[in-house]
Structure 1
Amino acid sequence: MEVMGRHCGYLALVAALASGASWVFIPEAPPEENWEDKFCDFLAQERQLGRRLNIIIVAEGAIDVNGSPITATGVQQLITSRLKFDTRVTVLGHVQRGGSPSAFDRILSTRMGAEAVLALMEATPETPACVVSLDGNQTVRVPLMQCVERTQMVQKAMNAKKFDLAQRLRGRSFQSNLFTYKSLRKLRPPPASACNPEGTCQKPFNLAVMNIGAPAAGMNACMRAFVRIAQTAGYTVLGIIDGFEGLCEDNVRPISWMEVHNWVGQGGSNIGTKRILASEKGYEDVANKLKQHNVHGLLVIGGFEAFHSVLKMAEMREKFDGFCIPMMVIPCTISNNVPGTDFSLGCDTALNEIADICDRIKQSATGTKRRVFVVETMGGHCGYLATLSGLAGGADAAYIFEEPFGIKDLQNDVIHIRAKIKDGVQRGLIIRNEKANSNYTTDFIHQLYSEEGKDTFTCRKNVLGHMQQGGAPSPFDRNLGTKFGCRAAEYLSKQVSESVVDGKTFTAPGTASVLGVVRRQMIVTPMAVLGSITDFKYRIPKQQWWLKLRPLLRIMAKHESQYEMEGINLKSVESTDESDDVVLQAGVGIQ
């Protein structure tokens, strides 16, 4: 499959990660000499393992180390002539440019547009030209000429065959994607002497994985990467079916290499997930079962239930030595309410679902003329989904728990939207988080708008429900889940090897932690640190970065609000010497 990217392989690389492609050709990382032999040998081995479908992604500007172009047609001819495999070529072309923008693109363009206005208002004739960009979840202003020079340096590096430099110049995100893809592509099933086909390995350590909480997109992609990285290192990976309930019922089995083959693009949880906490099954029983199944390291993928359970298990180590093992939580919930990370697995997919549904609702409202819809989203007490989907969907208001509101606020919003409709706007969209207020319910808001606006507009309500949790994971969640799984396997393997000495386990504070992404770095934060910055009553972090976007939502809906400058002025483009992915534990950097 040929994708766009005449001078940059970003699209091809990210698509390869998201689809689990067998091979990718990009201009920044050309294949080695005699790549044809290695390529064909790789595909032949894949076929022997039982893989009947291989996806090869070629960037339109792909080259080999000598600068000769590599084309999709050339790759097809190579496969058919040497391997006799039935091969088809698809050139995507300009269909890649079409379609509705994702929720991320809508929010990004809104934030960039607002920052550009502020930059222009502050500028003087002497102010250097800048580029408004995004660094993690923070808008930044970068000097324009430095961006141009850096882009030119990439091409000069490739012309000089300095491909490592070209990759560094592309930035840390590009390097991280390339490193993760290469790590997974190079993997092969361990030899039969090390691991049998059922997934049991000879190394005396077992790593276990379970899912806790509601299902969310990205769980399976994370488990796929975790299983393959861990098995390559010689660890048996035990899948705990249906969380703590399955553990207490001995529903535990090894996960094999080929079992996770197609998991990257599958939604939900293939090993089952439940909201049952460790406390509900009894800490003593859970600890005994972990010892019984000889678990030396535990990965828990899930939402706030997973975070809370592992936190309590770590606190119970003095009572139950079954918990004296390295434990890690990977946040995976559409609510995005787990402390220690800016983004949880699944929240991007859920935002895309909500934005798509809101588009259809607005179309219905516009066709009916003068209609307002009240839409309820999930999220518990966390207003992330309501706020970000409101920004992406062009909502007139978004009611959340973190920003208290009263009857006067509701009345003012009714007056505001009634005035907009009288001025010619044909529809309105109101979003409410499911636990925004116990008294001002979705039904109450719907009835209030219906009564107060009956002479101007009609009102309908829509509770989205569990459709927000379904569907295939977005490319963002697939890639983030893959990166999380790789880092978790590497980190837990290191923790197990360091914490088990002469049969005795040492449990430092960092051996119970959360792996998250903060700005654009992967951060490992000890549970003890996160417990103090968490509101356990409402199951949300005490500080949430996205709340600073609330004024922008109001301004875009023509409300009066004060939007503070979000962007940071960067004096230079990021250094090429910085590490691509840094894991921090208790303030200490570990590459």
Structure 2
Amino acid sequence: MLKGYQGMVDGGANIAEADWESVSSILQVGGTIIGSARCQAFRTREGRLKAACNLLQRGITNLCVIGGDGSLTGANLFRKEWSGLLEELAKNGQIDKEAVQKYAYLNVVGMVGSIDNDFCGTDMTIGTDSALHRIIEVIDAIMTTAQRYLALVSALACGADWVFLPESPPEEGWEEQMCVKLSENRARKKRLNIIIVAEGAIDTQNKPITSEKIKELVVTQLGYDTRVTILGHVQRGGTPSAFDRILASRMGVEAVIALLEATPDTPACVVSLNGNHAVRLPLMECVQMTQDVQKAMDERRFQDAVRLRGRSFAGNLNTYKRLAIKLPDDQIPKTNCNVAVINVGAPAAGMNAAVRSAVRVGIADGHRMLAIYDGFDGFAKGQIKEIGWTDVGGWTGQGGSILGTKRVLPGKYLEEIATQMRAHSINALLIIGGFEAYLGLLELSAAREKHEEFCVPMIMVPATVSNNVPGSDFSIGADTALNTITDTCDRIKQSASGTKRRVFIIETMGGYCGYLANMGGLAAGADAAYIFEEPFDIRDLQSNVEHLTEKMKTTIQRGLVLRNESCSENYTTDFIYQLYSEEGKGVFDCRKNVLGHMQQGGAPSPFDRNFGTKISARAMEWITAKLKEARGRGKKFTTDDSVCVLGISKRNVIFQPVAELKQQTDFEHRIPKEQWWLKLRPLMKILAKYKASYDVSDSGQLEHVQPWSI
């Protein structure tokens, strides 16, 4: 359907059949290739009557609508009126009675495509992550930003000094508070202040707060040189991020399954994301709640507005408030507890954001925070220093690991580490890292019998590009690596558009874990992805070559194949390259590319900055709760639930005892025995035009929208 509802009303060439090739090579294209338009005609019954007639002429009774709440509300109204529209068309003689019976029901499923992420019932709408990329690129470039959810999350991702949101207006006297905060930050040698204003920001009296008003205030009160940058439609453009591509692909499949399963009694639904789990929600319940948010704001019930926006928004707001504003020292109750933070394993983008969050939440909870430098190696040597609130300023957007990180395990240094724990009176330990951090936590837990110094709460936050830590669907750093892979694949594919008939073999990192190869393949539109978790042989390679040979006969004369670095001992990148080169002679030529350590570097993506910030804050809350439990009793922690891995599983944040995770781990290959993303393997194959069956057992079921309680 070209040009949205306008195309549906106008009919004719605007309703065209889509074939396989018409939607090839569009993953990396921003905006919409089929067009979209605001349509006044569809708001009238006459317009909807024309639209119904145009659909019936082509026998269309299933609609998948991608858009914001306006588009989805229109689709629901259209569905409600459908039988009446059919009767009217029959009465006018435009269709016969048989057609009325044959096309009696219209099935509608919605996918929320909106950069504002203001649709209730879903954690992330399609386009939001890409818009965040644009905002963070601008902030990183001039070290300045827009829009409700976007404003809040970008403030979290860049460590902004102040943020103005319509749902959470500043209290009376905010002008003075903001100026004090800005001058305090300058006094701490922060040379640049960032204030983020969402479009539609208001005060508690519903009066607008504009960027110009704030600039005037800062200039007159503080005399600072102030610049305003309005991002506007920059946020809508650009290449879609890896997250948005995967989200849109997953939701597209969910939408088709929902339409295939629909019955005349099924309400129009929206496919959406709750945590990492796909769900279906009644369309009108979501629209109603979205309208309730606006109503609550109009009536100045701001607490209700935040509650209705959902737990993701409320959680982000709460975390931002805790990290942005430091209470005076005399207002923070001291716990006399020392909490240490350590990075272990290979560097991952977002580690620094996690450390910053842990340090600031720990200080706000009254703990003395200690930083351990250079992993367990540095721990054994006593490279431990107290770290303060201002020490971690500006860390959010920095890649790598500022504390330093090593793959060294604590096993051979247990005596020395225990001595350092005793010398620095460490009461709790937060480990941020990859599989080595997980192994290290197991070793420290096992050493409790010999060394009572390890009888303290210990928690691990997964941070590795490989995403191979048991107990969590996601790891800090994996999203940044995926974006690097996707961006590189886009460039490589573009280079082939001039050459034609070329196949690229790309090697990704990840050890034995195929997450990057599989999800990178899905995001970049690969023809195949070879991974360790799904064994393959020479017949599979031969089949892929034949498939690409057939592809070269179409208008899409290029191929992309991803290979995980440890997917096979003998079918190496060189072997696959040579095989493809030989078998493709005369049909296509072949090139290979090993991406290497560029996947570990670069500035963290908005997702990794925010994931690292939020999950680390949750880890510190867990530590504080455990230490409170033991206060005044000198309690030793010896139970399994005092040594945990903090992770995300489907829609929940869970604290899993490391002892329980042992059974779920393949230690030889350093991967979890069960991995959620393997269910998306068939999707990649189907999208590459292979015959494959898709497992619908994990598809979303229809649920009701539950307003989150604060």
TM over 0.5: yes
Return the alpha-carbon distance in structure 2 between the equivalents of residues 503 and 140 of structure 1. 46
Return the alpha-carbon distance in structure 1 between the equivalents of residues 335 and 706 of structure 2. 42
Bigger drift between 230-239 and 386-395 goes to 230-239
1:239 aligns with 2:371: yes
Residue of structure 1 equivalent to 2:464: 333
Return the alpha-carbon distance in structure 1 between the equivalents of residues 269 and 491 of structure 2. 37
Residue of structure 2 equivalent to 1:217: 349
1:134 aligns with 2:273: yes
Q: What is the identity, as a one-letter code, of the residue corresponding to 1:344?
A: S
Return the alpha-carbon distance in structure 2 between the equivalents of residues 489 and 141 of structure 1. 33
1:261 to 393, 397, 400: 393
**How far off its partner does 1:124 sit?**
3.3
1:488 aligns with 2:619: yes
1:525 aligns with 2:656: yes
1:73-472 alignment to 2 at 5 Å? 73-188=212-327, 190=329, 204-279=336-411, 281-472=412-603
TM-score by length of 2: 0.78
1:557 aligns with 2:688: yes
TM-score by length of 1: 0.93
What CA deviation, in whole Å up to 9, does each residue of 1:543-566 have, x standing for no partner? 111111000000000000001224
**How far off its partner does 1:32 sit?**
1.2
Residue of structure 1 equivalent to 2:209: 70
Q: What is the identity, as a one-letter code, of the residue corresponding to 2:492?
A: I
Do 1:211 and 1:300's aligned partners in 2 also have CA atoms closer than 8 Å? yes
1:34-45 alignment to 2 at 5 Å? 34-45=173-184
Distance 1:204 1:126, change over 3 A: closer
Return the alpha-carbon distance in structure 1 between the equivalents of residues 653 and 546 of structure 2. 45
What CA deviation, in whole Å up to 9, does each residue of 1:438-471 have, x standing for no partner? 1111111111111111120001111100000000
The alignment of Structure 1 onto Structure 2 pairs a total of residues equal to 567
- Give the share of equivalent positions with the same residue, in percent: 57
**How far off its partner does 1:3 sit?**
5.0
Return the alpha-carbon distance in structure 1 between the equivalents of residues 284 and 504 of structure 2. 46
Return the alpha-carbon distance in structure 2 between the equivalents of residues 226 and 535 of structure 1. 30
Return the alpha-carbon distance in structure 1 between the equivalents of residues 532 and 417 of structure 2. 34
What CA deviation, in whole Å up to 9, does each residue of 1:485-506 have, x standing for no partner? 2222222123234336454523
Residue of structure 1 equivalent to 2:13: none
Alignment gaps of 5+ in structure 1: 195-200, 580-591
2:707 to 567, 570, 575: 575
Do 2:457 and 2:637's aligned partners in 1 also have CA atoms closer than 8 Å? no
Do 1:24 and 1:57's aligned partners in 2 also have CA atoms closer than 8 Å? yes
Distance 1:70 1:551, change over 3 A: same
What CA deviation, in whole Å up to 9, does each residue of 1:78-126 have, x standing for no partner? 1111111111111111111111000000011111112212222222344
Q: What is the identity, as a one-letter code, of the residue corresponding to 2:447?
A: M
Do 2:435 and 2:469's aligned partners in 1 also have CA atoms closer than 8 Å? yes
**How far off its partner does 1:54 sit?**
0.9
**How far off its partner does 1:4 sit?**
4.5
SS of match in other structure, 1:560:
coil
Do 1:218 and 1:267's aligned partners in 2 also have CA atoms closer than 8 Å? yes
Cα-Cα RMSD = 1.8
Do 1:237 and 1:254's aligned partners in 2 also have CA atoms closer than 8 Å? yes
- Which one has the largest radius of gyration? 2
Higher RCO structure, 1 or 2 (CA under 8 Å, sep 6+): 1
SS of match in other structure, 1:532:
helix
Return the alpha-carbon distance in structure 1 between the equivalents of residues 662 and 414 of structure 2. 19
Return the alpha-carbon distance in structure 1 between the equivalents of residues 543 and 388 of structure 2. 59
SS of match in other structure, 1:264:
coil
Bigger drift between 425-434 and 503-512 goes to 503-512
Return the alpha-carbon distance in structure 2 between the equivalents of residues 423 and 47 of structure 1. 61
Distance 1:305 1:169, change over 3 A: same
Distance 1:186 1:538, change over 3 A: same
Do 1:422 and 1:456's aligned partners in 2 also have CA atoms closer than 8 Å? no
Return the alpha-carbon distance in structure 2 between the equivalents of residues 136 and 166 of structure 1. 21
SS of match in other structure, 1:265:
coil
Q: What is the identity, as a one-letter code, of the residue corresponding to 1:11?
A: L
Return the alpha-carbon distance in structure 1 between the equivalents of residues 601 and 517 of structure 2. 17
SS of match in other structure, 1:273:
coil
Do 2:170 and 2:204's aligned partners in 1 also have CA atoms closer than 8 Å? yes
Residue of structure 2 equivalent to 1:23: 162
**How far off its partner does 1:188 sit?**
3.8
Return the alpha-carbon distance in structure 2 between the equivalents of residues 22 and 508 of structure 1. 41
